[in-house]
Amino acid sequence: MSKSLKRVTQALTAAGLDITPVALAEGTRTAQAAADAQGCTVDQIAKSIIFQGRDTGNLVLFITAGGQTVDPATAAALTGEPLTRADPAVVRKVTGFAIGGVSPVGHLTPPRAFMDPHLMTFDVVYAAAGTPHHIFAVAPADLLRISGAQLAPFTVKNDLSN
């Protein structure tokens, strides 16, 4: 088991959840690929999108429905500073995850986080478990609690939305 997957599994257990991440043969590099492999709608995939504050350099996590895109202006207004694409090396160093496998939980240093309210419309959502090939199923309310995220609208619908 990779260190990243182990950290996610430990975070789920520490939060009192009996959840075991599962491996997907097709991988989870895109929300649509994860949805196809899991047999769910693309919006049930909880994407972990990391931005970096242009002024502070701090990472910010946006947990969004798979068919949604983070709106940069709205996201910047939420954080109080302009945002830029996060440096992959910084993401790995701070969170412990590589881009493509960032989980909403189990970070080495948990970033400030926001969660898309649209995810709350589902009974279950699926999030990356620290690798491009592992996901875990979780109730959205539990994901909100264990990620430390704040519910806030910051998305626009993209062409993949169902």
What value does the mean pLDDT take over residues 39-57? 96
Position 161 pLDDT exceeds 60? no
Predicted local distance difference test score (pLDDT) of residue 97: 95
In this prediction the pTM is 0.93
Share of the chain above pLDDT 70, in %: 95
What value does the mean pLDDT take over residues 103-121? 97
The single residue listed with the structure tokens 């189990």 is: 106
Predicted local distance difference test score (pLDDT) of residue 1: 77
Query: Is-contact 28 37, C-beta < 8 A?
Result: yes
pLDDT by residue (tens digit) across 12-44?
999 999 999 999 876 666 888 889 989 999 999
Grade residue 162 by pLDDT with cuts at 50, 70 and 90. Answer: very low
Position 131 pLDDT exceeds 70? yes
